[in-house]
Amino acid sequence: MLNIILGAISLGLLWAVMTMGVYITYRLLDIADLSVEGTLVTGAAMGAVWITGGGNPWIGTFMALLAGLLCGLVTGLLHTKLKIPALLSGILTMIALYSVNLRIMGKANITLLQVETVFSPIERLPFMQGLAEQGIITKNVAILLTGLLVVIIVSVFLYWFFGTELGSAIRATGNNQQMVRAQGVNTDTMILLGLMLSNGLVAMSGALIAQNQSYSDVQMGTGSIVIGLASVIIGEVLFGTKSFWRCLLSMSLGAITYRIIIALVLKAGMNANDLKLFTAITVAICLALPQFKAYWQTLKKSMQAPAKGGDGNAPTA
């Protein structure tokens, strides 16, 4: 059980990077960007090709980030320059990337067994021996530590970036484009930057996930946007959005919580093939929460109103 939870947390940390990417577009820019389904694989593919070619896995992960920036640029240009609606721009990039990803990998999947990954050096640390003797899967511990490091670096970077003049203009663009243009900012550029950053993070996350699962597969992105949204919403609902720090923390905790939930329902005997259905239903319910709340409130009011009216009109004789 400990190993299951540990595995879920470490995997959650890798997905947390992706979740922060989705947060940038979905919450800060107010765009549902579907290109991430392709970008995640592009990142995985870049990383896998680089690593199997004997390259340094950290540099491979960084190359994935660069590839992601490029993917975001494509979606951004489709949307801002060609005026294609954001949702459709994302879908176009996603579809196009399917072919591009096959080109990058040269085949449908690449295995990463027996190769040096970003987790390998940490797994070789001396104290790992002791943990292994206690029955703990040391690979999970290595992923956990690496994931934690990456998540902290990304969080600090995002906190800084969105605190600058530029980052603040990007956030404002997601709020009110007309106002931002009236303040002399090119909103197209802001949307481009936001989409690039988002897709860069998603691709980096993809490279890390591929190294974790020891393969990169052209299908691995399917449904990832829904997983990202689920993590964003779970994070916000359970862990709050008080400040930007809190939001970033909530994204990571949301991604981890999602992975723990999945691990537990699988352990409880759910068919792995039903996972995507389960996730989609969870997200639909979460997105509908405000509606439920409003409905509940009116229901409560309408139930209270006659009671109150009755009291007021009660004969006082």
Partner 1 sequence: MLQLHNVHKTFNANSVNEKHALNGLNLHLNAGDFATVIGGNGAGKSTMLNAISGVWPIDQGQILIDGENVTKLPEYKRATYLGRVFQDPMLGTATNMEIQENLALALRRGKRRTLRWRITHQERDQYRELLKTLDLGLENRLTSKVGLLSGGQRQALTLLMATLTRPKLLLLDEHTAALDPKTAAKVLEISDRIIAENQLTALMVTQNLRDAIKHGNRLIMLKDGQIILDISGEEKKNLTVENLLAKFAVVAGEELANDRMLLS
Question: Which is closer to partner 1, CB of 27 or CB of 96?
Answer: 27
Q: Give the binding-site size for partner 1 (rule: CB under 8 A).
A: 22
Q: Bridge-partner residues for 111, per DSSP?
A: 215
CA 98 to centroid of chain Cα atoms = 19
297 binds partner 1 (CB under 8 A): no
Token pair in block for residue 169 = 């203009």
Question: Which is closer to partner 1, CB of 175 or CB of 298?
Answer: 175
Whole-number Å distance between alpha carbons of 3 and 10: 10
> Which member of 3, 56, 99, 168 binds partner 1 (CB under 8 A)?
168
187 binds partner 1 (CB under 8 A): yes
194 binds partner 1 (CB under 8 A): no
Stretch that binds partner 1, among 36-44, 85-93, 144-152, 156-164 (CB under 8 A): 156-164
Question: Which is closer to partner 1, CB of 22 or CB of 170?
Answer: 170
Q: How far is the CB of 188 from partner 1 (least distance, A)?
A: 9
> Which member of 99, 129, 175, 297 binds partner 1 (CB under 8 A)?
175
Please, what is the Cα angle at 170 between 247 and 78, to 5 degrees? 115
| Distance set, CA 296 to CA 236, 284, 286 (Å) | 21, 17, 15
240 binds partner 1 (CB under 8 A): no
182 binds partner 1 (CB under 8 A): yes
| Distance set, CA 110 to CA 5, 143, 196, 214 (Å) | 27, 20, 26, 9
Q: How far is the CB of 243 from partner 1 (least distance, A)?
A: 10
Confirm if 41 and 71 have CB atoms less than 8 A apart: no
133 binds partner 1 (CB under 8 A): no
Dihedral sign from CA coordinates of 96, 101, 103, 108: negative
| Site residues for partner 1 per CB under 8 A | 161, 163-169, 171-172, 175-176, 178-187
